[in-house]
Amino acid sequence: MRTLAVATALTLTLSAAPLASASTTPYLPRPTGHEPVGVTTLSVVDRSRPDPWVPSVPYRELMVSLFYPATSANGPTKQYMTPLESERNLERENIPGLALDVLSTVRTNAVVDAHPAGRWHGLPLVVLSPGWTQPRATLTALAEDLASRGYAVAAIDHTYENRATTFPDGHVTGCAACEVDDQPGFWEKFARVRSEDVSFVLDELLHSKKWGALIDPARIGMTGHSAGGAVTTQAMLADARIRAGADIDGSIHVPLPPSGLARPFLFLGSMDDYVPGQPGPYDDWETDWPHLTGWKRWLMVSGTVHQSFTDLGVLAAQLGVDLGASIDAERALAVTRTYASAFFDQHLRCRPRPLLAAPSPAYPEVTFIG
């Protein structure tokens, strides 16, 4: 299901098979690049605007996970979620036999505050924006993989747009925006807020003495899943620093203007929900397609469902929860990682990737629509 307004926290359904035993420890597949991965957690505060969802808060505070190539793989790895964050994200699903704190036990691969590797302004940056009601944690496997391939990756929690965001002082915010998502103009406001969040995070990173010295300001890209992918075009229109973008299975509620977007763009979605030439969930992509006037590609992956493109696909499979996909969950993640990294390699690093030029026998589940 791709419709953002009705997406739940995890959109899980029980399988006919029993759930995995309580001793099962879920994990994220290892990154496929050659670099060790580090991660640091940043709290950034924009005092130029009140919070758009809770105006009584006179500033906009965001939590960001910054992943990067590191000099060593030794050290403690990042906690996936806190027990409370896990509980808030799972409590609405009512899955018998699944501990509500299970997502706090997920094994990850990024070492907390590892020493960064890289030369002066040597790292291209990719911004990740999660789906509606989803935390930034759900894009960790993609972030780790890009970092292992030599990218800095900033995964943003958009405050008050998901079930739980934990701040350094211990306070936890909920989804205030969920109370108004049925009001007229909501998605236009949503796109504007996320675009402003992304631009502010870019400002903070590029002006940082530590991270600004490592990131190449001329090589910035963005992608995201669901609502986070859909808003990428609007963020690119609002901020010319974002040179390439991708929408991973996100319905577009705010279409491109007739003037269009001339920078490279990738659509990556689920083939099982798409019938060319017939009305369906990707009509909004067909509307935007002619207005993408730069390099563009539209790819669909057979056997997938909406959450196959995030960590939730592999974690659900490990925990015995059936999302309805017919493709192996780790294979779906591998496809997502491979095509996303190829896209950014080609457009941020000027490294041509034949994988993007034509269908590949190595990835028969991927169909080229355009």
pTM, rounded to two decimals: 0.94
Residue-level pLDDT at 273: 78
pLDDT tens for each residue of the chain, 370 residues long: 344 333 433 444 444 344 554 457 999 999 999 999 999 999 999 999 999 999 999 999 999 999 999 999 999 999 999 999 999 999 988 788 899 999 999 999 999 999 999 889 999 999 999 999 999 999 999 999 999 999 999 999 999 999 999 999 999 999 999 999 999 999 999 999 999 999 999 999 999 999 999 999 999 999 999 999 999 999 999 999 999 999 999 999 999 999 999 999 999 999 887 777 777 789 999 999 999 999 999 999 999 999 999 999 999 999 999 999 999 999 999 999 999 999 999 999 999 999 999 999 999 999 999 9
Residue-level pLDDT at 23: 54
The tokens describing 158, both together, are 């958009």
Nearest alpha carbon to residue 154 among 241, 305, 253, 39: 39
Residue-level pLDDT at 331: 98
* SS3 of residue 368 by DSSP: strand
What residue spans of 117-268 are helical by DSSP H?
140-148, 186-207, 227-230, 232-238
Residue 295, C-beta contacts closer than 8 angstroms, at least 6 positions apart: 264, 265, 347
Residue-level pLDDT at 7: 40
Cβ proximity of 166 and 84 under 8 Å: yes
Residue-level pLDDT at 274: 78
Backbone angles phi, psi at 113, to 5 degrees: 55, 30
Instruction: Return the CATH number at 318.
Output: 3.40.50.1820
Nearest alpha carbon to residue 339 among 145, 97, 209, 74: 145
Summarised one tens digit per residue, pLDDT across range 58-74 is: 999 999 999 999 999 99
* SS3 of residue 322 by DSSP: strand
For 275, counting Cβ atoms within 10 Å of its Cβ (0-12 exposed, 13-18 middle, 19+ buried), the class is exposed
The count of domains in the chain is 1
* SS3 of residue 75 by DSSP: coil
Cβ proximity of 344 and 244 under 8 Å: yes
The tokens describing 270, both together, are 């689920």
The tokens describing 210, both together, are 């530590």
The domain in which residue 42 lies consists of 4-368
Q: How far apart are CA 219 and CA 204, in angstroms?
A: 16
Residue-level pLDDT at 14: 40
End-to-end Cα separation, the chain, in angstroms: 22
Q: How far apart are CA 270 and CA 268, in angstroms?
A: 7
Q: How far apart are CA 114 and CA 108, in angstroms?
A: 14
The tokens describing 198, both together, are 């992304």
Residue-level pLDDT at 74: 95
Cβ proximity of 312 and 325 under 8 Å: no
- Which residue has 């211990």 as its token pair? 170
Residue-level pLDDT at 18: 44
Dihedral angle, C-alpha 249, 253, 179, 155, nearest 10 °: 50
